[in-house]
């Protein structure tokens, strides 16, 4: 099949998914529609933001080894830009999904005490500001890097390195806001200080997993010449380290709530540990931590494409499952997975793949104008 | 190896916690069950990391780099006294294949070296020689001995003295002390009226006949009967005898013969009336509320029933195949 043929199939898939998406609203109800919407949009938003974070991380620490690979997360981070309109559209879900927008939700004194933060105008302002900051960071890091391909201007590196620490702060705050606003406030009585860090851990892992998959894909196509197994090893090492980080944060959050046993905290876990959700947590722990951790211990596993591909895919799936486990219990219906979820999946996956294909086909596959590219290619462990 | 040591660390921590929390010092913490794996995880994690780090660090030093390396071939150089004092040396490691020893010597001579030596590298010793193992075991043993003695004598010779107060100084109110927290100045407060301690429900029945309505909450299972026998033999058998027939031994002291528990009168008592006697006492018998828990009292009632039946067994009670 030629390349435009694949694009046509993807476009057809997106159209078919769109039909299912619209049908969800009219047939299965708008609550189901918006839960799916924020779930899928957050899944791809976190991938995009994770990739943007990887790019910024390289600039902030002045890493050389990752320069040849940088174009991959740069292109993938355009998902965050694609999800900007999805976030704005998602604002329509406020009245449907979020209890703090209704007067009966505010009957709970705990929720009523949070209206300083949880009110519709401020929520909208936060979303718009966050999206604006991400697009600004995208323009500085990614567009600037693409421009450097032509003008070879080393001043880009200086600019990026100056902005990167500022972006780290912005990223830390905005990713926390994403977690608090979109996910945590679905059940506004609940709060967890570490929730932002937990979301960050998942975001970074998702970005890493997709970057690893894309790097291996491009390497198999011969589009990243001179990239050695040593570069791939570092990606594998990152995956290995941060799967432990995710488990650490996730367990820390659970342990403290379990220990304190406060009714306003444990109800969130109670909902998510009972019935169908209990075994799902085990699956999550196994796929998000135990399997990747054990699989990535041997040195070869961090370079061998076949093993890395399935570990990275597994972690991406686990991140998806993580979000599903956090968001879908608010419907209060137990296991909800049927044609609406599938059509949303088809719609979002195909449109994101189309978007990524477009990004991948433009410009060079490596930052050819970066003065550190040669040093990066010479990197050996 | 690091992984295996990490696993051992996790299992060791788990075992230690199970032992302390389960058998050695079973303390109820925050109302959680004794086996609360959630609370074990942080310590398991830390010990796993500790074991794995020590294994990789020490393994690198002692197994891979084979330290301490007292017989390094460089030390056999004739110039060594000078090198440690007032001369410089340049050591070139050559394995004889990739580097030509003679060529290097020639280059060095050209650049004006004062002395050139070729030192043969002896065959490396095996990874784990008996000598090495001996030193490791000796080292661990001496460390343990020194650390143990230091700790023991340290605590003995320097008891509680500032700043080493061994956690004696704590911001808490000791029992029977004055405190500024409550208005009346007492550190300890009386329980709120109506407070009932766990397992200590108040017993309000006055007359033995009224207790007839109480039903035995325990099943007549084997474990309950065993407990009943043990409690009976400890507390009741002194007067009532091991068979419950009433020992005449103490009659002189109390002026009355202890009741025969297997007599028809008591056989006809409902469970509650036997229970009431344990609670309230009867005639010369004192109350046993302070000695026996509710569960123990009810198991004793069960066991008394067993004695009554055993000492008044009828033919039908014996299985057919056992009858003659």
ipTM of the complex: 0.74
| A261 interaction partners in chain B (CB closer than 8 Å) | 30-31
Residues from B in contact with A at Cβ < 8 Å? 3, 30-32, 38-39, 41-42, 45
CA B232 – CA B301 distance, rounded (Å): 9
Binned at pLDDT 50, 70 and 90, residue A217 comes out as very high
pLDDT at B166: 67
Low-confidence ranges of chain B (pLDDT < 50): none
Interface contact A310, partner B, CB < 8 A: no
A255 to chain B, closest Cα gap in Å: 6
The mean pLDDT value of chain A amounts to 91
Nearest CA in chain B to A298: B3
pLDDT at B85: 86
Section A3-8 average pLDDT: 80
More confident residue, A261 or A312: A312
pLDDT at A40: 94
Candidate from A96-105, A199-208, A227-236 with smallest mean pLDDT: A96-105
* Binary contact (A255, B3; C-beta < 8 A): no
Helix (H) or strand (E) holding A53: helix A30-61
| B42 interaction partners in chain A (CB closer than 8 Å) | 255
Q: What is this structure's pTM?
A: 0.70
Binned at pLDDT 50, 70 and 90, residue A1 comes out as very low
Beta bridge partners of B285: B282
Among B31, B41, B46, the residue to mutate for chain A (most A Cβ within 10 A):
B41
Binned at pLDDT 50, 70 and 90, residue A58 comes out as very high
A152 to chain B, closest Cα gap in Å: 42
- pLDDT for residue A88 is more than 90: yes
pLDDT at A49: 96
Nearest CA in chain A to B3: A297
Residues 133-172 of A with CB under 8 A from B: none
* Tokens 């050389």 sit on residue: A64
B98 to chain A, closest Cα gap in Å: 22
A295 to chain B, closest Cα gap in Å: 12
Environment class of A26 (CB within 10 Å of its CB; exposed 0-12, middle 13-18, buried 19+): exposed
Nearest CA in chain B to A244: B45
Binned at pLDDT 50, 70 and 90, residue A325 comes out as very high
* Binary contact (A255, B30; C-beta < 8 A): no
B162-192 pLDDT, tens per residue?
666 667 777 788 888 888 888 888 888 888 8
CA A250 – CA A287 distance, rounded (Å): 14
Percentage of residues of chain A with pLDDT beyond 90: 66
| B53 interaction partners in chain A (CB closer than 8 Å) | none
pLDDT at B162: 67
Interface contact A251, partner B, CB < 8 A: yes
Interface contact A263, partner B, CB < 8 A: no
* Binary contact (B38, A255; C-beta < 8 A): yes
* Binary contact (A297, B3; C-beta < 8 A): yes
B197 to chain A, closest Cα gap in Å: 22
């Amino acid at each position: 099949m030629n390349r435009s043929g694949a694009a046509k199939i993807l476009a057809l898939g997106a159209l078919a998914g769109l039909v299912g998406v619209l049908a969800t609203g009219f047939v299965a109800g708008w609550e189901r529609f918006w839960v799916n919407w924020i779930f899928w949009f957050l899944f791809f938003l976190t991938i995009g933001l994770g990739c943007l974070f990887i790019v910024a991380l390289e600039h902030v620490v002045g890493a050389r080894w990752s320069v040849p690979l940088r174009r991959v997360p740069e292109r993938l981070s355009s998902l965050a830009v694609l999800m900007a309109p999805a976030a704005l559209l998602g604002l329509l879900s406020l009245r449907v999904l979020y209890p703090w927008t209704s007067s009966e939700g505010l009957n709970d004194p705990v929720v009523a005490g949070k209206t300083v933060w949880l009110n519709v105008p401020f929520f909208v302002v936060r979303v718009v500001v966050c999206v604006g900051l991400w697009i600004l960071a995208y323009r500085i890091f990614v567009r600037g890097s693409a421009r450097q391909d032509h003008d070879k201007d080393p001043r880009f590196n200086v600019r990026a390195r100056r902005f990167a620490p500022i972006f780290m702060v912005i990223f830390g705050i905005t990713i926390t806001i994403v977690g608090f606003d979109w996910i945590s406030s679905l059940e506004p009585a609940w709060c967890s200080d570490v929730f932002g860090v937990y979301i960050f851990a998942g975001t970074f892992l998702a970005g890493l997993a997709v970057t690893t998959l894309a790097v291996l894909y491009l390497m198999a196509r011969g589009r990243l010449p001179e990239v050695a197994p040593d570069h791939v090893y570092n990606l594998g090492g990152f995956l290995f380290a941060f799967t432990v980080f995710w488990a650490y944060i996730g367990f820390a959050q659970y342990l403290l709530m379990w220990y304190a046993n406060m009714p306003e905290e444990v109800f969130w876990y109670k909902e998510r540990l009972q019935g169908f959700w209990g075994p799902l947590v085990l699956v999550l722990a196994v796929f998000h931590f135990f399997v990747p951790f054990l699989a990535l211990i041997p040195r070869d596993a961090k370079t061998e494409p076949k093993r890395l591909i399935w570990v990275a895919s597994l972690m991406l799936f686990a991140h998806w499952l993580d979000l599903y486990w956090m968001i879908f219990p608010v419907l209060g219906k137990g296991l909800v997975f049927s044609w609406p979820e599938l059509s949303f999946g088809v719609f979002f996956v195909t449109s994101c793949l189309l978007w990524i294909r477009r990004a991948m086909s433009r410009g060079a596959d490596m930052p050819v104008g970066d003065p550190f590219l040669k040093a990066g290619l010479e990197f050996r462990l | 190896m690091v992984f295996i040591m990490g696993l051992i660390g996790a299992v060791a921590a788990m075992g230690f916690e199970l032992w302390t929390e389960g058998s050695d010092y079973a303390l109820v913490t925050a109302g959680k069950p004794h086996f609360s794996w959630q609370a074990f995880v942080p310590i398991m994690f830390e010990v796993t990391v500790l074991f794995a780090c020590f294994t990789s660090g020490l393994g690198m030093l002692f197994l891979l780099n084979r330290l301490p390396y007292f017989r390094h071939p460089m030390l056999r150089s004739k110039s060594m006294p000078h090198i440690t004092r007032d001369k410089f040396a340049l050591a070139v490691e050559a394995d004889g294949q990739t580097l030509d020893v003679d060529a290097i010597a020639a280059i060095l001579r050209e650049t004006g070296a004062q002395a050139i030596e070729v030192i043969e590298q002896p065959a490396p010793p095996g990874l784990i020689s008996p000598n090495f193992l001996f030193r490791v075991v000796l080292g661990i043993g001496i460390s343990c001995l020194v650390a143990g003695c230091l700790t023991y004598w340290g605590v003995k010779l320097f008891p509680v003295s500032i700043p080493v107060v061994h956690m004696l100084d704590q911001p808490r109110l000791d029992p029977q002390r004055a405190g500024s927290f409550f208005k009346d100045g007492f550190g300890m407060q009386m329980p709120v009226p109506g407070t009932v301690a766990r397992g200590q429900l108040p017993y309000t029945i006055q007359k033995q006949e009224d207790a007839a309505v109480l039903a035995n909450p325990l099943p007549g299972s084997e474990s309950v009967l065993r407990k009943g026998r043990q409690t009976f033999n400890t507390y009741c058998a002194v007067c009532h005898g091991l068979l419950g027939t009433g020992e005449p031994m103490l009659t002189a002291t109390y002026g009355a013969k202890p009741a025969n528990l297997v007599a028809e009168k008591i056989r006809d008592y409902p469970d509650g009336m036997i229970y009431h006697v344990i609670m309230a006492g009867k005639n010369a018998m004192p109350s046993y509320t302070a000695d026996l828990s509710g569960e123990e009292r009810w198991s004793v009632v069960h066991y008394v029933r067993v004695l009554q039946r055993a000492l008044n067994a009828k033919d039908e009670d014996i299985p057919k195949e056992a009858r003659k």
